[in-house]
Amino acid sequence: MDLRWSRAEEAFRAEARAWLEANVPRDLPPVHTPEGFAAHVAWERLLHAARWGVVAWPERYGGRDATLWEWLIFEEEYYRADGPPRITQNGIFLLAPTLFEFGTAAQQDKYLPRMSAAQDLWCQGWSEPGAGSDLAAVRSTAVRDEARGGWLLSGQKTWTTRGGFCTHLFGLFRTDPAAERHRGLTYFLVPLDTPGVTVRCFPRLDGDEEFAEVFFDSAFVPDEDILGGLNDGWRVAMSTTGSERGLTLRSPGRFLRSADRLLELYRERPERSLRDQVVQAWIDAQAYQMFTLRQVTAIAEGAKPGAESSLNKLFWSELDLRLHETALALLGQDGELDGAWSRGFLFSLAGPIYAGTNEIQRNVVAERLLGLPRKLGGHAFRAERDGGRAARRGGRTAGRRGNAGRGPSRLA
């Protein structure tokens, strides 16, 4: 391990820090108000104009061709400067990696520049009333319209964050109702002003009127707005969820900053019985940073994060919740007042739910990283069952002889 930053990286950090210190706006009104929305869009356009919006993208799409390390540095500096929430995040962090991987050149040219310039704002159309953790139960359909060369979308999406003011949605629709659950889904890119699309906003627990449900009634989408192959949507979507769970959505800078704020709060209001929790939050933020640095190293060497992103998601979401609970405990009675910590606490409650509930993440970790048996019943177990019989025949000491071997390579 070498944790030194290069001279170029230090220069990048200095440039980012100076620009952010000079330009980060203070106290923007909440995103869900018209003036707040306008202010956040204006901020995104300022970022874009200075080419700080999407540093890791190619220059022709508004980026700086920055390395992943430089991206991490930018994120650290962004949170250090208390930069506003990124209303472009579902586009730039979730859809864009998928567009880079699966999009045609025409799709990339059409969508990426407008996305980075905050001209298009994207929301995610995964969940439905009957398809949450069980995402493959998606029932919204896309029916072929041969005459117009496209598809007619019908159904309902929900829990769509910022759906109320986004301009576009990326989502999964069932194109082959006869196919098995995960097959027969297709990934569509849909402008929300398409005739037949209706958006209804509804409030959230943290007070932001940011959720929306999106209704589709034979909304037409042309063939060229399919991302990836027809009926290949599950695979394409899983690439997005990898980004969503992993470091592109929640970089360590965010938690390093929160941990520092928690320390500041502790110094202002020391409460000895809470000291270890405060220190532990800081320790965990360091652990998350080191984990992601190692992950970035692996990605730079050609690895794909895959199921490992579920580890990220479990760790950062639980850390964020503990961190805010500790802050509220330090605040004592003042914790009931509306403020950054109480709002942050409410938002942290959503962390273990969005981007795939932590129960689903634990299943992914257990099955794909630890190699535990996957299905409930059926022949998937036959192999294990035979192994189990052999172990039982050996009696109690079978374990002693049998368990000296190495487990899944993951643990090695």
Partner 1 sequence: MAELLDAEVTPDVVRAGWPEGDPALVGDAWRKLAAVGVTGTLVPEDLGGLGLDENSLVPMLAEIGRSGLPVPAAETIAVAAPLLAGGHLPGVLDGDTLVTAQLGDSDLVPFGQQAALVVLRDGGALRLFPRDALVLEPCVTTDGSRGTARLVSRPEARDGMVLTDDPAEVDGAWQRGVLGTSALLIGLADRMLTLTVGYVGQREQFGRPIGSFQAIKHALADALVGVEFARPMLLAAAWAQSQRSDEATARTSRAQTSVAKVLASDAARLVARTAIQCHGAIAYTTEYDLHLYAKQAWALIPAWGGPAWHRARVAEFLGASDD
Closest to 331 (Cα-Cα) out of 260, 405, 265, 273: 265
Distance CA 129, CA 213 (A): 9
Least distance (Å) from partner 1 to the CB of residue 311?
6
**Looking at 70, 76, 77, 244, which residue is catalytic?**
244
Least distance (Å) from partner 1 to the CB of residue 44?
32
- Residue 379 gets which letter from DSSP? G
Crossing angle of helices 252-268/309-331, nearest 10°? 20
Binding span for partner 1 by CB under 8 A among 72-80, 182-190, 192-200, 375-383: 375-383
Least distance (Å) from partner 1 to the CB of residue 202?
31
DSSP bridge partners of 173: 186
Task: Scan residues 68-127 and list those touching partner 1 (CB under 8 A).
Answer: none
Least distance (Å) from partner 1 to the CB of residue 129?
23
Q: Where are the beta strands (DSSP E) in 294-346?
A: none
Task: Scan residues 246-305 and list those touching partner 1 (CB under 8 A).
Answer: 263, 266-267, 270, 272, 275-276, 278-280, 282-284, 286-288, 290-291, 293-294
Assess whether 244 carries a catalytic annotation: yes
Tokens for 9?
């990286």
Least distance (Å) from partner 1 to the CB of residue 361?
7
Task: Scan residues 345-364 and list those touching partner 1 (CB under 8 A).
Answer: 359, 361-363
| Residue whose pair of structure tokens reads 């970022």 in the numeric block | 47
119 versus 133: smaller Cβ distance to partner 1? 133
Give the count of alpha carbons within 13 A of 193, CB side only: 5
Q: Where are the beta strands (DSSP E) in 110-184?
A: 122-125, 141-145, 150-157, 168-174
Least distance (Å) from partner 1 to the CB of residue 273?
11
List 26, 27, 376, 393, residue binding partner 1 (CB under 8 A): 376
26 versus 375: smaller Cβ distance to partner 1? 375
| CB of 151 closer than 8 Å to CB of 197 | no
From residue 305 to residue 334, the character string flagging contacts with partner 1 as x (rule: CB under 8 A) and all else as - is: ------x--xx-------------------
Distant-in-sequence, close-in-space partners of 189: CB < 8 Å, separation ≥ 6: 107, 111, 168, 169, 170, 221, 225, 226, 227
144 versus 294: smaller Cβ distance to partner 1? 294
Distant-in-sequence, close-in-space partners of 121: CB < 8 Å, separation ≥ 6: 41, 87, 88, 91, 162, 165, 166, 167, 168
Question: Which residues are catalytically annotated?
Answer: 244
Footprint of partner 1 on this chain (CB under 8 A)?
1-3, 263, 266-267, 270, 272, 275-276, 278-280, 282-284, 286-288, 290-291, 293-294, 311, 314-315, 359, 361-363, 365-367, 369-377, 381, 384-385, 387-388, 391, 396-397, 399-400, 402-408, 411-412
